[in-house]
Structure 1
């Protein structure tokens, strides 16, 4: 790791990252903010004065999350309905955000699914690529007019990107056999490449984009995993080869990417443990990023493919 703050690392929490940082007057939008890392990021940032908007698919769940956040911080947190696997829901959400004429300082693309059975989004896309990447790609580009100079966009990737690059010849698993982990790895690589492509387009406006690996945390993200995969992960945890983080530690890197002044000018980077990851093609550790996940040419190729999928070109 390239150290940014000497005291920050694996065990750093979101609250520690925000120590001394004032977010009063800032608006933060977090997708998937009702539980896990999204809810913890929302709590930590609202406690520092940010106006936080969370998104959720389930309005009842969103209501419970809002009550918990208000109780924890005293802040007024808002919720918006958003289904990232549905273009119509995404476009309606973006219309509501733009109609507010509000300014968004920080966007954290936190929502996601992991290792689910083969399924398709409402628009016919492979579910993990569609919800994890394409949904965020479309939503982010639609609300770009609301992003302010000096702002940041943070996309949650994963060390799971090491499983697979984006397989451009068969992104949707139409000719190859579906594999839940290959699909997850491809989607997480896409999240990282999106940060590279978005940063290229928005840096001129003073907006930077980052991708992060939060670490291994037990959250609802694992809800789709079959019992044999859960058992495999538990074996690694018991053996000490898969160090686990608390939710507070897991949220730290995305909060760091969203707020740390010392990484200004490093947009497009991939972070883990509150630091910039080195690019490494072979090392099997969580704190490196594969070259194919930060390659500018592949980022441009993915951008073109993504625009074709959503049927819209974005001029930023």
Structure 2
């Protein structure tokens, strides 16, 4: 039976054996990340999930099957990212898959500890630094899976002022979310270009509209705006978590993806339903340079 929107994580893994592979999942304590961790660990993988605090991490590890570990990571802090990446590399020097799953959606205007707009800083810049710091642990056959969204169609990158430093009054929660999700895809494109020569491939994933707590920071106005967009677009019904997480698990494990990368996935397939700016190679390179400047580090892999 071909995979599609109703495929579950367990169905993706039914004929696969990820035993012995160390798979890192950011935001693995709830929603899509937790379901991915559960399914992969139950199938035999060694899962390392990240949590915002140690107590939360220990609690989730105790509830999941198989071999599961955790590290503390706060993607809104560059200092926390550097510390967590250092700990991870020391404890687990060889990684098979990195799933950049954590994120926030349509938040009120805010800033990270380092002054970045909260959505761009958390969803993109945090994972940009995190991934690059872990590249030495990524070898032949490793995959990087970046969670994006069809919401990227709301906006391309705000090149002149990505963090609303000069014009915070122009902030709109859905446009900022769209820019951050566009950044996730462009990062995927450029990361794949830079690392495929060493056998590392990357994928951007749209999980679908899923019933999780991702929208916990939304204001009532943002929620109403989303409801209008969904109605106008006649979007498919909400997926359950096991269906929503299936595409990222497929990206992490599917043998048929071994020879491709830098692509946008949805419903366990390569998708062509994306904004025209999403896979632009020139913009991907431009974003990489911009991101290096913002996080204060250069990466030449």
**What TM-score do the two structures reach when normalised by structure 1?**
0.91
Please, what is the CA RMSD of the aligned residues? 1.6
Structure 2: where are the runs of 5+ without partners? none
* 8 Å contact kept, 2:71–2:88: no
Match of 1:243 among 234, 237, 255: 237
Match of 1:64 among 59, 62, 67: 59
Correspondence 1:97 to 2:88: yes
What is the CA–CA distance in structure 1 between the aligned matches of 2:103 and 2:153, rounded to whole Å?
A: 17
SS in 1 for 2:203: strand
Correspondence 1:211 to 2:204: yes
State the partner residue of 2:176. Answer: 183
SS in 1 for 2:196: helix
Correspondence 1:168 to 2:159: yes
* 8 Å contact kept, 1:237–1:244: no
Match of 2:102 among 97, 107, 111: 111
State the partner residue of 1:265. Answer: 259
State the partner residue of 2:47. Answer: 52
Correspondence 1:301 to 2:286: yes
Offset at residue 117 of structure 1 (A): 0.7
1:244-264 CA-to-partner distances (Å, cap 9, x unmatched) read: 100000000101111111122
Question: Which one is further off, 222-231 or 84-93?
Answer: 222-231
Correspondence 1:201 to 2:186: no
What is the CA–CA distance in structure 1 between the aligned matches of 2:225 and 2:291, rounded to whole Å?
A: 34
What is the CA–CA distance in structure 1 between the aligned matches of 2:210 and 2:53, rounded to whole Å?
A: 22
What is the CA–CA distance in structure 1 between the aligned matches of 2:205 and 2:11, rounded to whole Å?
A: 17
Structure 1: where are the runs of 5+ without partners? 1-5, 279-287
What is the CA–CA distance in structure 2 between the aligned matches of 1:203 and 1:228, rounded to whole Å?
A: 43
**What TM-score do the two structures reach when normalised by structure 2?**
0.95
1:157/1:242 CA distance change after superposition, 3 Å: same
Offset at residue 25 of structure 1 (A): 0.7
Would you say how many aligned residue pairs link Structure 1 and Structure 2? 298
Offset at residue 85 of structure 1 (A): 0.8
